[in-house]
Amino acid sequence: MVLKIMEDFIMKEHNRLTFLGITIKRHPLFDEKVDFFVTNEQRVYQDNNKQLTNLLGTLWVNNLIALVGRNATGKTTILKMVIGALSILLQDKSISQTRLNDVLVGKDPIEIITYFYGNDMKVFRDKITFIRGDEGEWKIDSERIYSKSISSRIARKDLLVFKDDSLIYDRNEIGDVALNVLADDDSIFRIVRKSGEYQTQDIVDTLIFTNMNALFYEGGDVPSEILEYLDPTIEYLKIENKRIDTHKFQAFYRLKFKGGSNEITDTNFATIEKYLSSGTAKGVTLYGNIVKALKKGGIIFIDELENHFNHTIVRTFIEYFVNKKINKNHATLIFSTHYSEILEDFDRGDEIYIAKRDNKIHLQRYSSANVRNELNKADVFDSDYLGGTVPKYDSYMNLRKATEKVINNEQ
């Protein structure tokens, strides 16, 4: 009996939820239904499984997901939808505290369905309908959570199929006491996490650094190795967080270059920024967040990974997530990019999503595009083989003529 209790405790202590994917429905900016999944769509072979993590049987998740598309195709919006959904479900945040606050738009209800795998061999489906309140705020109108037990023999086509009797929680039927505790923009998914004692993946959101240059590094001393890699002229860079009051800290920067006698110090990043390239500042900040995700087996989201970096640095950061000696905790990198050349570093088509837009945002998985294997992925993207991946030729010609006209008028 004691042994059984200990076994149950050990199992619960290590229960873990893994994100599988989301479906977005009735969003005014998207197709009627848009899927974004990190699970494998293609068969996994022994020689191409280093970029995946096995969950159960033939169920795998990709450690890398690239979101590629030309400008204004909705890549950032998609990332915000995913981050927002995970933040409200896994981090106990209200809608207004998440990225959903930026991307829930329109007047009609929007539905988000999110799927998770529990390593106690359960799959969960959380279905939330968001509505707009009288004062313009978004709130949860309904939320239903489904669960089912699975075995290693389950077929992928059956994985996300739930019967009506698999409903375990209905927001409208959990009782007045629970509803009084929860705000109308809080998810009830916390009930699942707490009742199953699930550990969840950390959500590392770096979108704020896409167009803003900043310098952060947890732990104070920036490792000399990353400094040498980004800028070999730097001797050291230290960031100390000094407490100003009970709730506020202020960064104090200490920077010294090799061969120099003076240490540059300031509490204002604008001063330090004069001495560092934007690539070095972003590289240090991004490296710290990547290490955080790798340590904890989290999911890190990076928008426009190539900003301020050359291809070598981009590929270095990507490689960490396919190196099993580094990515021991099965972290996932989800990033957007304009660099079609990066696609050639991906062994699998189900690691790549292509964003396209006409009146609506469309999302297509490369593996479902029926592209011949011998074709170069970058060429497929740059040649507009799939349609909607490069600016239209007419637009190009019109812009060229308009530019010629402006120049001629100025002369």
**CA 142-143-144 angle, 5° bins:** 130
Round to whole Å and give the CA distance between 200 and 17.
Answer: 5
Domain segments of the chain as ranges:
15-206+317-393, 216-275
Tell me how crowded residue 70 is: count the other CB atoms within 10 A of its CB.
18
- Residues 364 and 356 sit within 8 Å (Cβ to Cβ): yes
| In 2-152, beta strands by DSSP E | 17-25, 33-37, 52-56, 59-62, 64-68, 110-118, 122-132, 138-149
Structure tokens at 50: 């280093």
Query: How many Cα atoms within 13 Å fall on the side-chain side of residue 76?
Result: 15
pLDDT in tens, 140-165: 999 999 999 999 998 888 999 999 99
- Residues 19 and 299 sit within 8 Å (Cβ to Cβ): yes
Round to whole Å and give the CA distance between 67 and 101.
Answer: 22
pLDDT tier for residue 381 given thresholds of 50, 70 and 90: low
Please tell me the pTM assigned to this model: 0.86
pLDDT in tens, 167-223: 999 998 887 656 667 889 999 999 999 999 999 999 999 999 888 788 888 877 999
pLDDT tier for residue 386 given thresholds of 50, 70 and 90: low
